[in-house]
Amino acid sequence: MKQSIFFNDGGQGGLPIVFVHSLAGHAAQWDAQLTHVRRSTRAVALTLRGHQGSFMPEEPAFSLSQLAEDIGTVVDQLNLERFILVGHSLGASVALRYAASHGKRIAGLLLADPSGDSTQLPADEINGMLMALDSPAYQQVIEGYWQQILAGATEETAVQVLQDLRHTPKDTVVNCMKQLIAYNPTED
């Protein structure tokens, strides 16, 4: 099976900027930023494995290091030696993990709404969430969680984000959530 990562590359000049989306997102979520930045700079948005347009691993392969490999795959394919890395939520954690092991390639790092250190949360709270995600109530649980995150969002944004969530395989969402829950960003 070919393991392809979808990406959208365009623009010229300046130091390239690479954008990484949130959980249940995809490259197109950066379209407004790409349009703006590409007036003067090369910009790339990629879609992580298991998300719309990129390959789905045959075995669960969603560790932050494995997801960071997706960044490496794209920047190597595009011959980007040095670039600015931007990540949102899950993408921020993935970007941080990539930067920790490829620091010489990173000219700048912007983390939008990065994941915190969930290892400090009470175990019963975490276990309850994980059990609910692995239950038949998955759709109700995950959409309820997403709706909390979307509080204050425009209706158009909320509809699009929930639609993207529904198009993201349960295995992707659950496995990525497990990785984020176990992640301590201070190590990176």
User: 90-101 and 64-77 are packed helices; what angle lies between their axes, rounded to 10 degrees?
Assistant: 70
If phi over 0 gives left and psi between -120 and 50 gives alpha, with beta otherwise, what is residue 98? alpha
Q: Read off the pLDDT of each residue in 96-101 and give the average, rounded to a whole number.
A: 97
Half-sphere exposure of 78 (CA within 13 A, CB side): 26
- Separate counts of helices (H) and strands (E) for the chain: 7, 5
**Which pLDDT score is estimated for 1?**
42
User: In sequence order, which residues have a C-beta less than 8 Å from that of residue 99 and are 6 or more positions away?
Assistant: 85, 106, 109, 188
pLDDT digits over 113-161, tens only? 998 898 888 989 889 989 999 999 999 999 999 999 999 999 999 999 9
DSSP label of 18: E
Summarised one tens digit per residue, pLDDT across range 43-68 is: 999 999 999 999 999 888 999 999 99
Helix (H, G, I), strand (E, B) or coil at 48: coil
Q: Tell me, which fold does domain 7-187 have in CATH? A: Rossmann fold (3.40.50)
DSSP 95: H
State yes or no: pLDDT of 3 exceeds 90: no
| Residue (of 42, 43, 87) closest to 67 by Cα position | 87
pTM exceeds cut of 0.85 = yes
pLDDT in tens, 68-88: 999 999 999 999 999 999 999
What are the domain boundaries of the chain? 7-187
- Taking residue 134's Cβ as centre, other Cβ atoms within 10 Å add up to 13
User: Tens digit of pLDDT for each residue in 10-26?
Assistant: 999 999 999 999 999 99
| Residue 115: per-residue pLDDT | 87
